[in-house]
Amino acid sequence: MTTAVESELRRQELARFLRSRRERITPEQVGLPIAGRRRTPGLRREEVAQLAGVGVTWYTWLEQGRDINASEQVLQAIARTLRLDPHEHTHLFRLAGAPEPERVKDCLVITPSMELMLRKLEPYPVVVRNARCDLLAYNRGYTWLMGDVDAIPYEDRNTLVQCLLNPEWRKRMLDWETNIPRVIASFRAAMADHVAEPAWKQLVKRLKAESPLFAELWPHHDVNSEPIRTKRYLHPDVGLLQFNFTYLYYGRRSEITMSTYTPADEETAAKLPLFFD
């Protein structure tokens, strides 16, 4: 049974979560005009309320951690407005004390334009991830490179989980031993903005329990925000592949990135598959 103290803590965490997500969305991303200088980053409370179709006072109370009940319809509208990914979407419902919605595989932040880019860039592998390393979208080129991603349980579609716990991924990544410490250090750097979020803490707890290497490296507190620009892979059918990486961010303050793998040499380009719609 939830105590009054637990309910209060949950409401305060919900308030912080909503503010952090509101501040990362720019007016341009939701089609709002920029009028004059803005004192705070991201959207204003009244803008979120307007876009979600809820009262300004009611939404303000929600961000203030007041003891009010939010319906599933309202929470869904707020999730769409704040462009929450599936993990954040579930987190919102948990903090609001609402029944968790069924997991939606089509991420709310993946727009039709992004889906078109994923298809048009084939056969180049392309993947969309959030700061937590969750796989939000990918194309056929990425599945060809890494294996049957669709077969991975949805809750395990996380590049850090797969790199550390999936032997098939490890076999394909030639520089695994060199790159994985940098990946873990990058994850720790990103976690600085999410230290209080249960989804992040749960992922760390899982990796410490299931990956001896992660358990060994995590206490070192190494951080690295410099992305890896070139990677080598060993494909079971075509052998050695070398790719250069381009990282495209969804917005100025967005943590959603689209990573494009382009061939680093002619040999790799010649080995890429042909896809026919």
CATH code: domain 1-96 is 1.10.260.40
Domain ranges of the chain: 1-96, 112-271
Beta strand 239-249 with 230-235: parallel, antiparallel or unpaired?
A: antiparallel
Q: Is the dihedral of CA 42, 44, 50, 55 positive or negative?
A: positive
Over its length of 277 residues, how does the chain's per-residue pLDDT go in tens digits? 557 888 888 889 999 999 998 988 888 777 777 666 777 778 889 999 999 999 999 899 999 988 888 888 889 889 888 988 777 888 888 888 887 654 443 356 777 888 899 999 999 999 999 889 999 999 999 999 999 999 998 889 999 999 999 999 999 999 999 999 999 999 999 888 888 777 788 899 999 999 999 999 999 999 987 778 899 999 999 999 999 999 888 766 678 889 999 999 999 999 999 887 6
**Domain 112-271 listed as CATH 3.30.450.180:** yes
Q: Do domains 1-96 and 112-271 have the same CATH topology?
A: no
